[in-house]
Structure 1
Amino acid sequence: AEGVATEKLLNYYPDPKLWAQILGSLPQKKGFAADKYQLDLYRLRLATGNMRETNDYMEMAQLAAQAGYPEEGKQVVDKGMAAGLLGQGAEGARHKRLADLMVKKIAESKAAAAANEKAADEAKDGNAFVALGLANAFGGDAKKGVSQIEQGIAKGNLKRPEDAKLYLGLVYQLGGDSAKAQATWKTVKGTDGSADLARLWIIQSRAAKR
């Protein structure tokens, strides 16, 4: 009940400290698949001004690259450097290597794009299209991202259908269409954490527009 009350407060006072409280307690919520949604929690932390430590940026960038989103990883590294938390001090060279790795992975991803799209087209399910759509949106092509995730949802047999809707909302948001993003997030009904994340994205999206 306390979590619900704090979440309601967020609608009126979207303060970074309040966000930190909510996002910090979410992994402990009963039924929340914290391991599965580690990167998604970081995405909300980044969007709400809650990346405090060097390690936050390092870990998020690595998780994004591992998940197949090197463009997102590079953006995270760049933001960490802009915040003065990466690229400084004794670990500066290590941070630079991470940035270089992201650039390398982006190049590899671009080189494999046509083959990956062909494989997604030939697949029996829509999972690859969902992943490609999110990757393209992080790469700056939200329109293509929306189209691909919608193709993935239409193909069906998804491993995580509620996540597909969560990410479709995120792609709309990345493309600047917060109304469609919020409408899509409202349809997320997962019980393992996707609906919690969607609800928080709606709050963040509304706050960002104020």
Structure 2
Amino acid sequence: MKLLNHKTWSRAALLAVPVLMTQVAVTQLQRDAGIAALASAVAQEQQKDTRGTRRTPALRNKVYEKLAEAQAAAEAKDLGEAQNILDGMIAAGGKKALNSYELANVYNLYAFIYYSREDYRNALEAYENVVSQPDIPLAMEINTRYTIAQLYFVQEDWKRGIDALLKWFDMTESPNAAAYVLLAQGYYQIKDYDKALANVEKAISMYDEKGKLPKEQWYNLARFLYFEKNDIKSTVDVLETLLTHYPKKQYWVQLSHMYGEQKKEAVQLAAMETAYVQGMLDKGTEQVTMAYLYLQGEVPYKAAKVMDKGLKDGSIEDNSKNWEVTGSAWRQAQELDKSIPAMEKAAAKSDTGELYARLGNIYLDGDQNRKAITAINKGLSRGGVKRPDNARLVLGMAYFNEKEYEKAREAFKAAARDKRSAKYADQWMKYMDSELDRQRSLAEG
């Protein structure tokens, strides 16, 4: 029984890495840099940055009132009115009529309006205008730069997103774990897997140090990156961690394949079986893999039961190959009465005669010689039998058992023409001759 190529199978399963969501929710952007709380802005406008000499210019009352009016309209989802108010502020005396901090707040609201309309290009331009203003509060610039990076990621402009995020890292004193994951994702997208791994590892370690549970997607990204580096041990470690905190079918299946990579056949089978007994393996391909693992583990009865159940309930595809696996498993389990009908279906659905030849062998084992003769002749006439010499040996045995000695001799002679079977064919013909001599002696006596 040929087993699955577990390297190929596991790679297919593990490459299906869930890409972290790049779509940043509007509420998240609001929280990061969107609509500034104007009361807080007024309180901070003269705040001196402790890391430098930046001093923010005053937000004048008349400007504050207009901004508050525009913000109220935006929050009421009247984006057109909000934009009209902002347009009016710009038009009233030109940009020079507003100081840098006032302009920053205007552009901040513009950005929110554009983002709400999914006009990311103009939203980005507005946010870039925010950070281009001199002497705005450092916190405002830091938050806005993070939002700029997020928006580049939303547009799948990975390189600019990375550059923007690195600029943000340079400015912030205490980057959080989510920022490292965002950076890791950017590097992942441009296939710089070493930097991607370093950053997601940093995020996971930050959560671990605080006793917090890292997010499932973080582990998944790390798992993919370890696998790409062919670091099987670390891949297994991550999958075991995922199963501890986020038990899912896909992790049992992937872990089983990884144990196979490590040549740990017993735990490979155990992992897959754990998923199977929990009813997780709902795909036919997964159930067939389960059956192959049982066969590899020399548990053919369980393999046959898995295949039989899947074929009956329709979860395993009703095709020649799957019936062949079922029939072979039943035969290995010494259940010939169940192996025969499975192999009959496999042979009937096959395009070649190979399975009829194998079916004939099973018939012979079950002392159904006439059926063996019919099956093997059908297989040989159809063609595609891998070892026709072996098939003819079996055919000769079946004829011999049916006492059709001349046909048996003809089959053995045909088998002997292949040197791989010549020795056994000659032995059978000698045995048959001695048996015929014995029968003649008995008759004469």
Name the TM tier (shorter chain).
0.3 to 0.5
Q: Which has the higher contact order (CA 8 A, sep 6+)?
A: 1
TM-score (norm 1): 0.46
TM-score (norm 2): 0.23
Report the structure number with the largest CA radius of gyration.
Answer: 2
